Every structure is written in structure tokens, then in C-alpha cells.
Structure 1
Amino acid sequence: MKAKTREINTDGVQYRKVSNARLILAMSHAASIGCFTSAIGYVSYAANLGFGIPILLVGTLMTIARIFDGITDPLVSLLVDRVNTKFGKLRIFMSMGWLLESVSIMALYQWACGRGHSVLLFMVLYLLYYIGYTMQNMAGQMISPVITNDPKQRPMVGVWNTIYTYIIAIVTSMAVAVVLLPRFGNEYTLELLGIVAKLMIAISFLFLVLCMIGISPIDRPENFVKSESQHVSPKTMLNLIAHNSALQRFVIAATSDKLAMQITNQAIISTVLYGIIVGNMAFSAFLNMVAIIPSFIFAFVSAKYTGKHGSRDSITFWTRICIYVNLIFVLLMFFSAHTAIAAHPVAMVAFVVLTLLANGLRVAVSTGTSSMLADVVDYEAARSGNYMPGTVSGVYGFIDKLVSSLGALIATACVAMIGYTTTAPQPTDSKTMPIVIMGTFLVYVVPIIGWVLTLIALKNTPITKEEMVEVQKKIAGLKREEE
């Protein structure tokens, strides 16, 4: 069975496309790995409750693990770009990664949790998770540049990636906050963590199967053949980092945003915002569920905008609006600083409207970012003659994870500054001014800093709409020369 691809001629370039159904199935990878991302978000509670690790030390251990995660990216990417079996490569690495992640989550949340084991065992199991995550994620990131290079369809890869990620995050958080957490008195317990682990693994497996069905026609040796002159090595990576200005600027833009998201997505920070400042933990899941529809609208609008104006202009356009919205959020937080937002009708309405808008705008930025990473892969192929999606993703992932590894440390250190040194914040805690100030800073001010860095980094990037047309022409010329 061959992939049902078709070629179109635009701007003098032959672009390849796949059917929408094929694209939707292939990008279900994002849902599969998103389940594990949601599950590992509760690891601070597993460490504190199940292994007896103080919350401040948990932040340090999580930072070490994220650094380790970053180191595995270039190592795995080198392996991925070198392996090319008759069964392809993507499905092999996805399956191996899924298995390691599943074993790790079950051990962390149930098999070894609450049995008096040491910090050392916790770290071994936690690092095992990141090895598996890297293998599955690295293979998934290669889907985008391989499946299509059409500038109008490529943003749709980001759309479906975002939709899957968003739905999984919403559904899983709602399942925990609305269904499971109330059953345990709104307290995180070891039994709750065990249920979370089994649920996430089961859902992840379903989407893994769907993804494999979608990529089976493109996951073939002929789609990953390198030229005889291409040899992927650590030296290749160094050359990539030193001389690819598009990658350099993309990394600054993407990692600054990612660090902010890593901080705000920590479970303890969600507890601070919704459980304490807003005053209704369950409402967070409901609000995120309601936000699905406007976020999808933003995703498709952003895809159209990206296809018309290019990934750079799309990212910078939506990023500027994000900054304005978060500034309004800061004012709202201090307007309702002395009472729970849920108890103030005007503040609550404003919070809901702004949250829906902010979620949609983040999806719009994410759509452009996904498209730009694939553009960077093609830019490198035109620049050096080497088509190596795994290596480009690995280099980006390495730097991205080194920076974003600070997220957990920053989050735990900040909550420790307001008194949470040995225990984690709980939804039943009282609202105080230090909590409001710290919560506002972490959730709304830190992202603004990241977005400003994004605008600065992308100002002179070579990834423009016009330049990418020339890139595709050059790649086509290189292919003709090899033939």
C-alpha cells in the first residue's frame, strides 16, 4: 500500500500533499504522548506523598530529570536518523517509547509508590520515563516534515497537533478535577495517582494505534534515504547549531515560550490559580472544556493566516495580542486580590472571557510554531544539502529541554518563597496577598517576558514566506541532481 500523496504546482514548486484523513490519523500521535504529559504532571505529588520527598527537593529532582531529558534528545535523534529498516523507523521508536513510558508511570504512581522506597529509585523511574518520552516524541516530530511540504497544508499539521494536545489536556484534567478528585475529598492521594496512571496509559495506547495506521504508508525506507555524502554525527549537530541562523532564532523564540508554559502547567501552580486565587478547582476543568470550541476556531484561523503570510508573520502577529491580554489579566488579579474570583460576579465573568481568549491565542501561536519547525528542517536541507528531520528536532529538543527544565525548579522555588517548603499547595488553602502576587507573576507575567523574547528573536529570521519558496526550489534542484 503506497501513501496516497499528490503533487501541486505553486510558485513554480512541486509540493506534496496527503489526504486530510491521513493527516488526522497521523497526528493522533500528539494525543498519545499528551496522555503521558498529563500523567507526569502529577509526579510532584507522587514524589511527595509516595516517596516522602520534600516539595522543594522535588523541584530540584525534576530539574535534573529535565536536563537529562534534554541530553537524550540529540543522542536519540542521531540513532533515529541512522536507523532505517524495511519496517521504517517511526513506528518502531514510537512503540519502544510508549512501552518505557507506561512502565515508568505505573511504577511511579502505583507499583513502587507508598512502599517506603528511596529517592534513588524515584529518580531511576523518573529518568526511565524521559527516555521513553524522547523516543516516542522524536519519532512524532518527524511526521510533520515527512508527510507534507505544502505551505498551505503544513500549518494544518500544527492545527491537528494542537487540537489533539488540547483535547487530551482538557479531557484528562477534567476527569481528574471533576470526577476523580472529589471522590478523594479534593485531596491528592496515592490511590488517586494509581487510577490516573491506568487511565492515561489506556487512552494513550488507543491513539498510538491510530497514529500507526495513519503513518504506515509514509513510514518506509525510501522516504528516509540519505545521499551518500550525508553522514549524521555530533559534528553535524555542532555545524547545525553554529551556522543555521533560522534554527538559532527559532530556538530562542520557542524555548522562551516553552519555559513559561512549563511553569504555568505545573500542577501546584494550577492549584494556586484555580484552587486558591479563583476559589474553585473543579471550575478549571469545566472552563478548559468550554474553551475547546473557540480554541479550535483560532487554530483554523491561524492555519489560514500562516498559509497566507508564512510562519514568522503568523507567530509575531498572535504573540503581540497575547501580550495585551495577559496585561489585562494582571490588572484583574489585583482588582480581586482580597476575595476569591469565583465569589465576585464581575471579576468571574472577566476571568472567563479572558481565559477563553488567551487559550485561543496560545493555540494560534502554537500552530505557527509547529509550521516553523518543519520550515527549519527544509531550510537546513537547502543550506547544507542534508535532510535530517530527526537531528534538527533533536538539537532543538536538547536546547529546549535544558531551558524548560528550569520550569519545575522555578515553580517549586517560588511557592517555597511564600511558605510551601515541605508541603504542596492544596485547593483548600486560604487566599493571601503573597499567593496572589506570586500566582500572578508565574501565570501571567512570566509568559509576557517569553513573548517579548519571541518578537525580538524572530525579527530578522530567514524563515519568511518568500524565502521558503526559494528553499523548496533549491531542495527540488538538489533532488534532481541526485537522480
Structure 2
Amino acid sequence: MKNENIVYNRAKLWQIGLFSLNNTATNIFLALMFYVGYYATGFVGLATVLISNILTSMRIFDGITDPLIGYLIDRTEGKLGKFRPYIVTGYIIMVISTILLFKVTHTLPENIRLLFFLIIYAIYIIGYTCQTAVTKAGQACITNDPKQRPLFGAFDGTFTLLLFSCFLPVYVNGYLLPKYGNEFSLLLFNELLFTFIAISGVLTILSFIGIYQKDRKEFFGLGEKNAKLGFSDYIDIIIHNRAIQMLIIAASTDKIASSTASNAAVGIMIYGIIMGDNTLQAKLGLITIIPAFLLLQFFVQYARKLGIKKGLVVTAWGSMISFSLIFFLLKFGDPTKIRLSNLFSFETLGFIILWCIGRGISGAGGGLTINAIADCADYETYRTGKYIPGMMGTLFSFVDKLISSMATTIVGLVVAGIGYTKGFPKIGDPNTPQMFYAATFLFLGMPVLGWIASIIALKFYPLSAEKMEEIQVHISSLKNSSQ
């Protein structure tokens, strides 16, 4: 229902679509780092548990840098806007640091490799934080129309689906690994690195164009100059902003689960060992992309009509049920019968159908979570009169990353627990009962636990569709009275 007292800042569809590519641009680098464990154990000489603990520590450092970058974003207001400088700076830092990480580390004397790896990885994280912070904070100035905000989720969910369910498995498992003899060689890492840098660069330019016209003061909150901010504002938000509290709990538990499930070693355990054909990840990704896309769009439209909160609850339930059914299919069926050459078998059809449903619904939920951060930023403006999307988005990221940082450690401990103490599982390793339960726990069990936690947290999330309309009426009236 439209309210004539609200003056919405609406965006063109292409602006929302292009800006959403900023998240995909950074996810490209995130995907690259899925394989850093293979590089570190294979060529730098680090043990499995050590590299897992290092990556966990770096993830924590990543979270610590978030509040600082968010604070700087909210203090920035120059000719290049509030957000664009951080898009460009972040990309440049990530390019330089990843080249040094993958091209130089293994060439150094062994006694300084670890220190060099830590320093360069820390620099990479600073760049990653600069660009990812914009994804969460920039939405607040793109549009405040509740009918438009879920469209970001539609675009972002689609691009994320294409990246992780289609491009990544096809390119790495279907092309790169076979090309280099199913081994993570230096030549493979070299091609992977520069391909991802180029793709991310194109997407970064497009996202810069998407936010260009909206990155101006008149679209920042009440349209006034930056409020005086301090780090004490973070404490106030944590204590009093119930919306961001509950969203952080819901999203961080999902994130640790999805980060665990998408780990490169887990993919090899599921497809390369349990199913016995690592190319299935790429092949099934291509088959499931269209149905998953359609489901994603359906749930985004659902959220546009009934609100982001209801969209998040429904997608959490749907994802949890579909992933639980996949476990029973793998447990009581024969995973080695999942083959495109055996398309009409119970196992193949069942897996494809359930995987389509799970990926489509969970993709919609992930996009809606980012939308909800913008709602929380508006709630803070409603509550205190301060426009601080940078602090709001990076506070979310700070806690989210601290919790989800355990993903790499969880993978490392689980695989070490079944005997892989000096390296990660590889294609062709035997499928033992220990392997099956370890892989399905990481691939399916962790996401299910995350969605259960989300459903509980969202019961206390206050930003219903009706509440968001009240918030926008209040902000609009304040903005009109100040003009």
C-alpha cells in the first residue's frame, strides 16, 4: 500500500543491477581464496591445521578492519562521493596483494615464507574490506523504496548463483583441473589468479558506473552534512538497535555454514570422492542454474510484496528442508549413481531437483540479508537521526566475520580428524564412512544448523513491512522539514 507522505529515493533498474556487481567482484576474490589452502600446503610448506588456523586468524583480522573502514566511509564526503573511492582503492589493493601472495611466496627462503604470507594476506584483507563495505553501505543511497530494495537481492542472488554454481565449478573443476592433470600446480594457480583479477576488474568498473549518479549528498539520509561520529556510536548501535542485533545472529550463522560448505576441499570430498566424479560439480551447476534462478526470482518477488523479514523466514525454512532431504538421499541412496549418463535414476533426479530448490531459495535469502542491512541503516536514522550506513554495514560484517572465521578451522579440524593432517582430501581418495559423514556434515549439516539459528533470531527482528513504512514516513517528514 502506497503512502503519499513518503518521498522515495528510487533508482533505475540498471543502477541497481550494475551496483550489485560490486558484491560479485569481491566474491571473485573470495572464490580465489577458496584455493589458497592448496597453494599454502602444496608450495609454501604449511601444514593443514596451521594454514586453517592462519586463515581463521586472518578472517578475524578482516572483521576488525570493518569498523574502521565503515567509520571512514561515513566521514567521507568529497568530489568522488562517499563510496566510489573505496571501490577503486579496494580493488587495487586486492590485485597487488594477490599477485604477491601467489607469485612470490613460494620463491622465498622457507624461514620467511610464513611471515611474508601473513603480511600480504593482511594487506589483501584491507583491500577486500574497502570494497565489500560499499556493497552493504551503498544500498542505503541507491534506493529506499521497499519495493525496489529486494531487486538488489534478485540481481545479486542471480550473479552469485552464476558464479558459485555455474562459472566456478565449470572453470575450475571442468576446465582447469583436467587441463593440469587434476593437480593444483603453479601453472594452474597462475591462470586462476589472472583470470579472476580480469573478471573482477570488469565487474568493479560496472559497479562504479551503477552507483555514480547516486553517490551524492542529497541521497545520504536526511541530506545533511555528515554528523559527528565516534567509535562510541558502535556501542550504542550494538546495545539499542535490535534490528541489527538479530540480523547479525541470523546472517553470521548462515555465513559460517555457507563458508564451510563452499570450501574447495569440501567440494572435492562430495563430488570427487563420495560421488566419484569431480566434474559433476560443473555439470550439475549448468543443469541446475535455470531452475534455481527461477526459484530465486520467485522468492525475491515474494519479499517485495510481503517484506524482507517474511522473505528471510520463508527462505530459511525452504533451504533447511531441501538440504536435509539431500542428506537422506545421499545416505540411503547410492551417490555413485548420480551421473548425467544416468539422468533418470532416482538418485540423479532427486539430487538435481533438491539441489535446484536449495540453491535457489538460499540464494534469495542471501540477497535479502544484504537488503536488510540497508533497512537497519534506515532504522538507525529513524532512531537517532544519524545517517551511518558505513558503520551499520561494517558493524554487521565485523561480527559476521568473527563468527564465520571459524569456517576454515572447522574444515581443517574435521578433515584432520579423519586422518588428513598434512594435506586436504584429493580426487581419487577412498570413500570411507568417516569421509562420508565428515563431508555431509560440512556440506549439508552446517548449513542446516545455520538456518535453524536464523529462524530463531528472526522471531525477534522488528523490521516488518509495516514498520519499514512507518520508518520511511518519519525520515521523509524530517527531510522535508529541514528543507
Normalising TM by the smaller chain, what interval?
over 0.9
**Partner Cα separation in structure 2 for residue 430 and residue 275 of structure 1:** 10
Q: Render the CA deviation track for 1:266-287: whole Å, top value 9, x for unaligned.
A: 1111111111111111110221
Task: Give how far 1:78 is off.
Answer: 0.5
Q: Are the equivalent residues in 2 in contact too, given 1:253–1:454 (CA < 8 A)?
A: yes
Q: Which residue matches 1:334? A: 331
Comparing 341-350 with 82-91, greater Cα deviation is found at 341-350
Task: Give how far 1:221 is off.
Answer: 4.0
Q: Are the equivalent residues in 1 in contact too, given 2:381–2:475 (CA < 8 A)?
A: yes
Correspondences of 1:273-352 after superposition (within 5 Å):
273-336=270-333, 341-342=338-339, 345-352=345-352
The one-letter code matched in structure 1 to 2:480 is R
Matched, 1:437 2:461: no
Q: Which residue matches 1:240? A: 237
Q: Which residue matches 1:3? A: none
Aligned mate of 2:159, from 161, 164, 171: 164
- Secondary structure of the residue aligned to 1:15 is coil
Task: Give how far 1:436 is off.
Answer: 0.4
User: TM-score, normalised to structure 1's length?
Assistant: 0.94
Q: Render the CA deviation track for 1:339-370: whole Å, top value 9, x for unaligned.
A: 57549843233222211111111112123222
Q: Render the CA deviation track for 1:201-225: whole Å, top value 9, x for unaligned.
A: 0111111111112221112344347
Q: Which residue matches 1:5? A: none
Q: Are the equivalent residues in 2 in contact too, given 1:51–1:116 (CA < 8 A)?
A: no
Comparing 378-387 with 315-324, greater Cα deviation is found at 315-324
Aligned mate of 2:26, from 21, 33, 39: 33
Task: State, as a whole percentage, how many aligned pairs show the same letter.
Answer: 32
Aligned mate of 1:19, from 12, 17, 24: 12
- Secondary structure of the residue aligned to 1:166 is helix
**Partner Cα separation in structure 2 for residue 298 and residue 370 of structure 1:** 18
**Partner Cα separation in structure 1 for residue 98 and residue 248 of structure 2:** 29
- Secondary structure of the residue aligned to 2:423 is coil
Matched, 1:185 2:208: no
Task: Give how far 1:165 is off.
Answer: 2.1
Task: Give how far 1:394 is off.
Answer: 0.9
Tell me which stretches of 4 or more aligned residues in structure 1 moved more than 6 Å: none
Q: Are the equivalent residues in 2 in contact too, given 1:276–1:430 (CA < 8 A)?
A: yes
Aligned mate of 1:57, from 32, 50, 59: 50
Matched, 1:91 2:87: no
Q: Are the equivalent residues in 1 in contact too, given 2:10–2:145 (CA < 8 A)?
A: yes
- Secondary structure of the residue aligned to 1:424 is coil
User: TM-score, normalised to structure 2's length?
Assistant: 0.94
The one-letter code matched in structure 2 to 1:135 is C
Q: Are the equivalent residues in 1 in contact too, given 2:173–2:282 (CA < 8 A)?
A: yes
Correspondences of 1:145-156 after superposition (within 5 Å):
145-156=140-151
Q: Are the equivalent residues in 2 in contact too, given 1:340–1:431 (CA < 8 A)?
A: no
Q: Give ranges in structure 1 of 5+ residues lacking alignment.
A: 1-7
**Partner Cα separation in structure 1 for residue 410 and residue 129 of structure 2:** 23
Comparing 138-147 with 268-277, greater Cα deviation is found at 138-147
Root-mean-square deviation (CA, aligned residues, Å) is 1.9
Q: Give ranges in structure 2 of 5+ residues lacking alignment.
A: none
- Secondary structure of the residue aligned to 2:45 is coil
The one-letter code matched in structure 1 to 2:311 is S
**Partner Cα separation in structure 1 for residue 409 and residue 132 of structure 2:** 23
Task: Give how far 1:147 is off.
Answer: 0.5
- Secondary structure of the residue aligned to 1:428 is coil
Comparing 428-437 with 441-450, greater Cα deviation is found at 441-450
Matched, 1:66 2:59: yes
Correspondences of 1:61-460 after superposition (within 5 Å):
61-117=54-110, 118-169=113-164, 170-224=166-220, 227=224, 230-336=227-333, 341-342=338-339, 345-460=345-460
The one-letter code matched in structure 2 to 1:210 is L
Q: Render the CA deviation track for 1:3-37: whole Å, top value 9, x for unaligned.
A: xxxxx964642222121122222222122112111
- Secondary structure of the residue aligned to 2:229 is coil
When residues 303 and 338 of structure 1 are mapped into structure 2, their CA distance, relative to the original with a 3 A threshold, is closer
**Partner Cα separation in structure 2 for residue 356 and residue 9 of structure 1:** 35
Q: Which residue matches 1:4? A: none
**Partner Cα separation in structure 1 for residue 380 and residue 241 of structure 2:** 7
**Partner Cα separation in structure 1 for residue 36 and residue 206 of structure 2:** 27
The one-letter code matched in structure 1 to 2:324 is L
Q: Are the equivalent residues in 1 in contact too, given 2:136–2:370 (CA < 8 A)?
A: no
The one-letter code matched in structure 2 to 1:40 is M
Q: Render the CA deviation track for 1:20-77: whole Å, top value 9, x for unaligned.
A: 1222222221221121111111110111112110111111000000000000000111
Number of corresponding residues: 476
Q: Are the equivalent residues in 2 in contact too, given 1:84–1:224 (CA < 8 A)?
A: no
Q: Are the equivalent residues in 2 in contact too, given 1:377–1:389 (CA < 8 A)?
A: yes
Comparing 312-321 with 293-302, greater Cα deviation is found at 293-302
- Secondary structure of the residue aligned to 2:192 is helix
- Secondary structure of the residue aligned to 2:7 is strand
**Partner Cα separation in structure 2 for residue 131 and residue 370 of structure 1:** 20
Task: Give how far 1:333 is off.
Answer: 2.1
Q: Are the equivalent residues in 1 in contact too, given 2:302–2:311 (CA < 8 A)?
A: yes
Task: Give how far 1:377 is off.
Answer: 1.0
The one-letter code matched in structure 2 to 1:193 is F
Q: Are the equivalent residues in 2 in contact too, given 1:65–1:126 (CA < 8 A)?
A: yes
Task: Give how far 1:338 is off.
Answer: 8.3
**Partner Cα separation in structure 2 for residue 300 and residue 166 of structure 1:** 12
**Partner Cα separation in structure 1 for residue 30 and residue 209 of structure 2:** 22
- Secondary structure of the residue aligned to 1:376 is helix
**Partner Cα separation in structure 2 for residue 283 and residue 11 of structure 1:** 53
